[in-house]
């Protein structure tokens, strides 16, 4: 900075140095860090002034954070201050520093991005299917069952609230022993399948007893991983990349049946083939947990889930992983009478658009497919009616959405 000031002075441009810019980083969780760095920035400002720079603007960049979890604490998904405190801390620190140095108060500039936009956007997706951990049917005991399987099934007989941990330990032990036997070739695939089913059956009973008796502590943590998987119509990498990249936590909740207590707990998986494509941390009333309370799914209901505060960075950082494109966007404004108005709708990427982003020409693809179908027609594998159906299905598919419709 000193070299820069000297250079500006030598070249007659020092009069241009009218703004000092600082940026501490995004989502600063602790107000003390803000006050400390503002004070430090002021030291540079007053020193630069004394070197002759005609500074008049002090820019503090971004950093004003969002309390994603509502915890009001200094951690990466929360902040320990309000916007009013943020402002008063900056104004106060600048005021003291300038008065002490006898310098005129500067015009303060901020570049808050996240705080301005995060709250204005939410992601909505539907649940397509679920893998329920507790629907396995208890295998009926058979005479030739391995004794470990018989022992595993017997756990149910001594399952009581006061013996939960013991039951859990036994179930895991017998299941692991049977897996070891399977690996060594001492248990066949059918027996192994029955063992796994017996394990899940016992586990679901243990979880039921634990939850209905409000058991917490270590067992709760162990059982925490036994939850449902709700398979949802979105791509984490396209729509919530920070959840994957920096373990960002967003408020998430089901958007219907609000007067009905959710009875299940789930992790939300996306439809990419990536095992990282899931939301597995949720902020609930008592803090951050590993599963989200959800309702059981009904055949005749489109079960929707909303992810909130996604206005900052998510859509722009999102990428085309697994070729899932931009999602449909609808802009909604609230009206003075408490209602809402749809401002505009933007359709998400079509399959053809996404393919063209990765250098495949949809026209060429169509031509190649047509040739394949023509060959099949010539060989008599496809008749003319089928040819028509195939061509129009392929065309519709290219023009369709990259998510399930």
Residues that bind ligand PLP (CB under 6 A): 23, 26-27, 61-64, 111-115, 312
Residues 68 and 19 sit within 8 Å (Cβ to Cβ): no
Using the minimum distance from each CB to ligand PLP, give the nearer residue, 26 or 46: 26
How far lies 5's CA from each of 12, 106, 107, in Å?
10, 19, 21
Name the minimum Å distance from CB 238 to ligand PLP: 20
CB of residue 400 vs ligand PLP: minimum separation in angstroms? 35
CB of 24 to ligand PLP, least distance (A): 9
Sole residue written with tokens 């990349």 = 241
Least Å from the CB of residue 212 to ligand PLP: 44
Nearer to ligand PLP, 66 or 398 (CB): 66
Is 62 or 254 the residue whose CB approaches ligand PLP more closely? 62
Q: What are phi and psi of 305, to 5 degrees?
A: -125, 140
DSSP string, 262-316: --EEEEEE-SSS-TT-EE--EEETTEEESSEEEPPP-TT---EEEE-S-TTTHHH
By C-beta, is 107 or 399 nearer to ligand PLP?
A: 107
* CB of residue 119 to ligand PLP, shortest distance in Å: 13
Cβ–Cβ contacts within 10 Å for residue 21, how many? 12
Residue closer to ligand PLP, measured from CB, 7 or 21: 21
CA distance 210 to 8: 71
The first and second tokens of residue 366, run together, are: 């169509």
User: Which secondary structure element, helix H or strand E, spans residue 21, and what is its range?
Assistant: strand 19-21
Q: Which is nearer to ligand PLP, 115 or 125 (CB)?
A: 115
Sign of CA dihedral 234, 240, 245, 251: negative
Of 188, 315, 242, the C-alpha closest to 76 is 242
State the virtual CA torsion across 64, 69, 74, 75 in degrees, nearest 10: -100
Tally of CB atoms within 10 A around 273: 8
**Taking a C-beta distance cutoff of 8 angstroms, is the pair 93, 35 a contact?**
yes
Task: Tell me the closest approach of the beta carbon of residue 63 to ligand PLP, in angstroms.
Answer: 5
Residue number with CB closer to ligand PLP (113 or 293): 113
In the complex, which residue's CB is closest to ligand PLP?
A: 62
Q: Which is nearer to ligand PLP, 103 or 119 (CB)?
A: 119
3-state class (DSSP) for residue 26: coil
Least gap, CB of 211 to ligand PLP (angstroms): 39
Please, what is the minimum distance in Å from the beta carbon of residue 243 to ligand PLP? Answer: 17
């Amino acid at each position: 900075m000193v070299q820069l000031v000297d250079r500006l002075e030598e070249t007659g441009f020092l009069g241009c140095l009218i703004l000092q810019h600082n940026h501490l980083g995004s989502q600063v969780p602790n107000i003390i860090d803000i006050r400390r760095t503002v004070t430090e920035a002021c030291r540079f400002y007053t020193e630069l002034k004394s070197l002759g720079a005609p500074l008049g603007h002090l820019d503090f960049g971004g950093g004003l954070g969002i309390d994603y979890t509502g915890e009001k604490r200094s951690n990466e998904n929360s902040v320990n201050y309000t916007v009013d405190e943020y402002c008063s801390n900056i104004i106060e620190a600048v005021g003291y520093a300038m008065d002490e140095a006898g310098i005129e108060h500067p015009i303060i500039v901020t570049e808050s991005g996240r705080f301005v936009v995060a709250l204005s956007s939410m992601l909505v997706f539907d649940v397509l299917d679920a893998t329920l951990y507790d629907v396995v049917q208890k295998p009926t005991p058979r005479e030739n069952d391995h004794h470990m399987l018989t022992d595993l099934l017997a756990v149910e007989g001594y399952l009581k609230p006061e013996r939960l941990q013991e039951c859990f330990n036994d179930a895991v032990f017998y299941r692991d022993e049977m897996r070891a036997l399977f690996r060594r070739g001492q248990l066949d695939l059918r027996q192994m399948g029955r063992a796994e089913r017996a394990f899940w059956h016992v586990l679901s009973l243990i979880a039921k007893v634990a939850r209905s008796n409000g058991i917490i502590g270590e067992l709760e943590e162990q059982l925490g991983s036994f939850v449902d998987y709700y398979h949802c119509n979105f791509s984490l990498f396209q729509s919530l990349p920070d959840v994957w990249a920096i373990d960002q936590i967003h408020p998430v909740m089901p958007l219907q049946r609000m007067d009905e207590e959710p009875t299940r707990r789930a992790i939300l998986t996306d439809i990419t083939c990536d095992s990282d494509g899931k939301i597995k941390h949720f902020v609930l009333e008592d803090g951050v947990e590993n599963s989200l309370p959800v309702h059981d799914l009904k055949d005749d209901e489109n079960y929707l889930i909303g992810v909130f505060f996604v206005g900052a960075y998510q859509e722009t950082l999102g990428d085309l992983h697994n070729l899932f494109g931009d999602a449909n966007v609808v802009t909604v404004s609230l009206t003075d009478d408490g209602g809402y108005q749809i401002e505009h709708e933007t359709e998400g990427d079509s399959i053809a658009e996404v393919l063209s982003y990765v250098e495949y020409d949809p026209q060429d693809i169509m031509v190649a497919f047509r040739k394949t179908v023509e060959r099949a027609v010539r060989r008599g594998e496809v008749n003319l009616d089928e040819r028509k159906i195939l061509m129009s299905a392929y065309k519709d598919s290219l023009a369709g959405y990259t998510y399930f419709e």
